[in-house]
Structure 1
Amino acid sequence: MNTLAAYGMLETEMTVKTSIQAALGAKKMSSFRRKEGGFLLPVVIVLSVAISIVSVVAMKGIAENSTTLNNQYYDSLAREAAKAGIEAAAACIRSNTATWDDTSSPARPLTPLTDCAGSATSGATSKVGYVAKNDNWESTYSVKKVEAVGSDHSVVTSIGSVTFSRNGTVVPSLTKTATVRTYATTSITAGSAIKPATALSTGSAHACTIATASVFCWGLNTSGQLGNNSVITSASPVAVVPPLAGKTVTKIAAGADHTCAIADGQAYCWGKNDKGQLGDRTNTNRSAPVLVDASNTNTAATAAQCTGGYNIFGNCRSGYTPAQPAIPPSSLYGKTVKDIQAGNSFTCAVTNDDKISCWGDNQFGQLGVNDRVNRKNPTQVYALAAVGSTPASALYNKSVEVIAKMSGNDHVCVLLKGTPLLPACWGRNYAGQVGNDTIAYSNSEVGYSCPASDPPIVTTNDVLRPVNVSRGGPMTTSFTTGATNRPASSIQNQGVRSIGTYGTYTTIIADDGKAYWWGGTTSANVFTCSPGCFDYSGDSGPCMADTYREYTSTMRPYGPMYKNTRAFCWMYLYNGSASCGNVVTPLDNQSFSMFSGNANSGVFCGVLSSTSALYCEGTPTQNNKYTGHLGNASLPVNTSMFNNTGVTPYAVTIPPWMSGRIITDIQAGGQADQAGLHQGTAAYTCILTASPSSVSQVACWGRNNNGQLGNGTTDNAKVPTPVSVSGVLGGGSTPTKVPAFNDPISF
């Protein structure tokens, strides 16, 4: 019993004694009154006794409650002291000096007065030996020897105590104790000397990773996109050569045939440069990284020159130099780069002032500079206020949070800072992939002509400057063959967590965790010129009968991609068939923690928030055959895909080597569908995996005709296969202790 509780019981005892004395006095008085012949005295006596009993019971209850509250209070003090011991132990383990031992002789426990070896610290006599203290109590801890569990984990047990004193003397019988235990990971083993991967990016047929702050790439290399000073394709990772050597690389972006990275705050690119996508003021391919122009140089335009004279036909014999347009100062001048993405033949980057610049191919307005002129060096995306009939840019007075991952596309989307995060897009829009309720369509672009009686539904230009993605409500749009009722935008009342652009599609995860999309296809197919039972929505589009006539496209956020049983229409061009029916998938109404790709542009893969399970869905590749891009071991590779193969998402087969690993990033690669053929030409997927007991590692699956899986072969893989670590990705560091402690558990 604690001191305060003892004092309470003493007061209760005195009250009981007083009540008994009062009862005895009442008994004498009742005898006197009974002698006078009355009946009042017996009643008074009975009532007095009853009141006394009630008082005793009440006081006992008060004393018990007081004891309970005091016990709870001191128990909590003991637990807090024990947790303080856990924190002290964690600090010792992190510094690799945890050698205390309470089982040794003499015992060397970890306490407030000892060091990590359990030895008394210098000046221990003046050191505070308690966690908390009051006039009559103080709390402390004593940590037991670390218990090893296997090679990578341990258990730390700390005993907290509260001792009480009277007049400076400890009363052992009143001591309170509490035991707190935590399960800790005390080391991360570097596997078989593997460099730990920290970032990943996939291109059309090559991929790259960052490991130990350096870049390694593999796959197709016809334009030097691997950055190893060669144009030889490699099925195993190769190290990117200087000038990146010795620099800290923080971001990697693989495009169609070029690659870019951020190193020490500067942008570097290498690979194909026919449209100026490397940003170095030239059109020369580079097989080694070059610094993206960040100068303040203004180069004037030059006229065409012929230094070798002209022939009789007026043609230059030799020494002809074509005219060169003026090149203004770089919009990166004086800034550092914090995000970068590589598209089809162009590149975009975000600088430290939250502005975005782009360079390279601009045929479809993908640079967002309000024209279609290519740029050989970074140019800031149009962000002006309204001027005359030109509306304000969606970036006007806004800051860019992040650029969407690009994969074989000619449009750009970004997320704008704010609450909530909202998307803005620009560039090619012939399938509505910009998402602003418009579509740019021309017969020549898709190689198909509608009859004069049924012309294309909408003809607008590509979007040459940033526009806000539609957040509008339901609307009706009139077309040649009738009105189309369109549902409200899926982000009308919510923001966006993540975003990616893939071929003619844009896909997002919204704040509700579900996947939505916009864009589509406008290719020649049986439904192009007349309304019918076909409206593609990534992988689960509802069949809207005659209410949709958008060339299998949607021009605003739509979805979710997976929902309850619905009417669905699916068509594969390779056999010209189409089918409609009710479809149920394992992803219906599920939320995603991450995703990549779009099924109609090749492959869509997503990780479920609830179970961390990985699913993929996709369309045929490599001449309408399954190449393993769904990651499911039960599906035969290199056989024709049936109509239902792309309708149902498949669980990716998790091989034994991935047991216990978690997926930290996922990137769908391949040449995404640009022509509306419902098939990417080289669909594959790579993931970054992590484990408490080994280093982070990259694995890939799918088509591997150019060695883009990085496993040392060109064989397709239908399950996640580790990228080869026998070469440059080997030689990791020795095991290091990096503890991670679970929440303490009281016993």
Structure 2
Amino acid sequence: MSRRPFLTRLTAPLASMLLVASATAGVLTTTVVPASAAVSAGGFVGVTPNRLLDTRTVGQTPCLLTARNLTVTGGATTVPVGASAVALNVTVVSPTLPGYVTVYPTGADRPTASNVNYVAGQVVPNGVFVKVGDAGQITLFASGGCPDVIVDVLGYFDGTTPVEPGGFVGVTPKRLVDTRSPGEGPCLGTPRNLTVTGGTTTVPVGASAVALNVTVVSPTLPGYVTVYPAGAARPTASNVNYSAGQVVPNNVTVKVGDAGQITLFASGGCPNVIVDVVGYYEGGSPVLEGGFVGLTPKRLVDTRNVGEGPCVSALRDLTVTGGSTTVPVGANAVALNITVVSPSIPGYLTAFPTGATRPTASTLNYVAGQVVPNGTVVKVGDAGAISLFASGGCPHVIVDVVGYYEGTVALPGDPTNLEVWGSNDFGQLGDPSVPASAASPLRVGTSTGWTSVSTSGSFDLEQSHTCGIRSGALYCWGINDYGQLGNGTLDPSETPTQVGVGTTWQSVVAGGTSTCAIKTDTTLWCWGDNSYGQLGDGTGSQTESPVQIELSDVDANIGLGWTAVDVSQTHACAVRTTGSALWCWGDNSFGQLGDGTYDSYYSPTRIAGSAAWANTSTGWFHSCSLKSNSTVFCIGDASAGQLGNGSDFTPEPPLYVRATPSGDTTFDWTAVTSGAYHSCARRSTGTIWCWGDGYLGQIGTGVFTFSGRPVQADAGTNWATLDAGDSHNCAIKTTGTLWCWGDGADFKTGIDTIDGVATPTQVGSVSTWSKVSAGYRNTCAIRTDTSLWCWGANDQGQLGTPSHRSGPGASPVFTDAADVAGSHATSCTIRISGSLWCSGSNLTGGLGDASGLDSNVPVQVGADVDWATVTAGGFVGVFGDPVAFACATKDSGTLWCWGDNSSGQLGDGTLFQSDAPSQVGSATDWSSVSAGSNFVCGIQGSGDLSCWGAGSLGQLGGGGTTSASTPSAVAGGPWASVSAGNTQACAVKTAGTLWCWGNNANNQLGDGTITQRNSPTQVGVATDWVAVSAGGAASCGIRSAGSLWCWGDNSSGAVGDGTVTSRSTPVQIGSGNTWQQVAVTGYAEFTSDAHSCAIRTDESLWCWGGNASGQLGDGTTTQRTSPTEVVSATAWGYITVSDTYSMGLRG
């Protein structure tokens, strides 16, 4: 499938097909709103309307007495040679007899299908999609009456192949059914399913929608025909309206339903029906610019209904995207069926983009008392609306949407971004202006797929290097004085250099001046410095290339079975599958090899009685290893208490001691890691414990001292993985956040300080980390998207890149995301495929994968690929645990929620947590849903608003303070959009007024008071609000002119007016009118973290407010009180923010 660069797809290739009332009475011609030709394969491109034929004109006669070929591409047609199909308006004028016109590809056999049916004297227009035939021509055939024919071209479909999802494929018209024919009847007295794909239909199985010509013949009573996807509920929409005895054709596009079928329903009069297929839209995803997305027909307005009138006497705007329309915001055109009912005098109706100058065009013409339907496509205008204009007769108008054409769509690009940050005192970053050290991220090349990384160094030799595995290939970079890069030379490398050509590496460990790695076949290989025998190859000789480590006298598989290895400055230990045995080699001057002696070894030595070892870790002169019974034993130097047995005396002779917290005999260790003179371990409770040297803060208890026994480094119980460097540690929480503590020299903790840090401190605001390696002077980590990041010293090229970014940056978690939402501890993303993925804490089921397990990598929520929108909520519980839940809608309009339900926020009538999506009721018309900290609000149907969950602060908007476990109606609609904040909510009505309710302690309702409101209260008197984001203590909204307004608590600067003064009513942010989307922090554990971000019409991203975690993305951690542009940000399409991080979608 081909992909065009993002910037070539900023303008959607769509056109509004409009029927023009010309100077010739009763004759309809066409015009089009042109659009860009940068479309996906098969996408639609509108052209300036061009008349190709008018048989009444001299030189173009005669009338259509015989079949006639017409050139529709090349020359002056405005359609390029190579177009696959053309969109035409074909008008029959003044035939002398009844009949029909068929339009088909030149060179094809004339089909038994028709496009325009007529009776004598009529003027009948119809939209026609026709495949281009031989020599760029189409053929016109009239069955009788020698009608004059007018042909106008409106646009064409891209001829690139293969056609991409949503692209159009024209076919030679094929009759699918004619109920007048024997064996195809009877007339349409009851609903009837019709197969439109597979078999002899000419439409392949898997097509998403079909383009049809549907003709009603000789009904006995007035009525209408509705065409809709089989299996869907019959909508209150119509495609062809008729009177008794009429012959009425209409162009119908319909989404394919169950078993490749559509359903035909007639309201009365048992009409005969003819259905001809003229083309289809490709199935699959993603649907790109110009591609069509079919919908179950949805009625947008019927002016005959109470509350939807009056009749169209002049100009009326109609919202066609967002809210309950079923068309997403951002669509560039909508496929509609517009029906005029009972005008009092003749006239015409024009549908055009809101904000555009009304064209001299008509969508359909009518006479007094008529019911006239017509299928059309209209480009979406300002604020997601179209405008309807009636020239006279005040007709009632019915508008049904049957689908839409995609606007700008996020496309999959490189699956991950690889970035690093650190010093540049040797210029190895490629930017001489960069300071010697930095704590901000820098990118390592453009490659992706990193699965393992290790960084280390040598204190006495001042050596640092890093190694990582990418797609099975092994790469190393940094200093290479001892051959530790394994590239066969002693040349250093500032960028990753591959070790050999193999792609079967599984794990790697960078030691002081040597390296060891294990392949997928469980063989062990080492290289580099061998002064102490730390390579284990029996020689003591340095080697610049990997050598296999084999055992000579154990069993037949002398080189296999290695599962884990660690290398320190001078010695190494590894675990082998046979008996889960532990083997060590190298320097043993402190007894650190564990064999009870001080003898050094140049080959692996089995540690006596060492069965059932699970893992091992080596410090400078001590070793700690984990047994399969969850106990940790350490041996070697104890001078700093690093053995964990409460003593700083090294045992004589050397012996293993059990690392034991004071007074605690519970042995539930799951991982252990050793630094130079300290060690840390993780328990099954999710806690981290450290012991040994702590004078640089590496014990993590808040004090700079040593501990001879394990002490808990942090109160949290959600630590997932950790690694000890020489004098600092880094660990990842189950939320995906990264935390470091200890020695800050060279900024290796990533916290923008060179001072020691005595408690775990978060690195930036990203919450997608999965693996980390802490070394001697730098640290590297891998995100869940397989991107690799490094920070700290880079004077020896150990960060592996010459590029640089000087501050915490805002980066998308996915590059193929269609929707994204983040809460305090989890984030969820819907990808273009329609699949749903979540990552972070799963303590309360917030990931929705039914596993109950936290995940540092995104996990798919079920196997469905029809998710449409997602929202996430949560907060920090009373014991500091993350509480999370989420809700999402599907393409079917159903709503599903999962996770914490302590306040009834899942809407299922219970208070029970759900670890997998659970449907909220049975409604199928949810269009907009927003999650607060522990409540949810959503819009369905024609603008009905409901809220549920916690209600003690009036946030449900029902007038009381009672919580609700099922959706509870909020009066006062119809509502267009809603945003749930921490403990309050705001919503915009379809009339453009803004209303807020709930907690108001910080002026967050914008009504000029601090009074709690239990039901919606209007914010000011403006009637042009188009968007709102309700935050935790502040809120922001956008008005139709593009102006941005904020209000509420401003202590963090989240209001953005250049002050820290709270605002009780909306204040305009700046003077510009170029804002198109805004997001404000909902729940924030600390108010100082609250921030806001907004996107301008030029697709630049601006943020302001709290910035302690770099969440503003401006390269600093400085609070901003007015909008500040995100560093290096362009082509932003969507932004959402949580308390300490921001997530955005951009090209």
TM norm structure 2: 0.33
Q: Which has the higher contact order (CA 8 A, sep 6+)?
A: 1
**Which structure: greater strand fraction?**
2
**Which structure: greater helix fraction?**
1
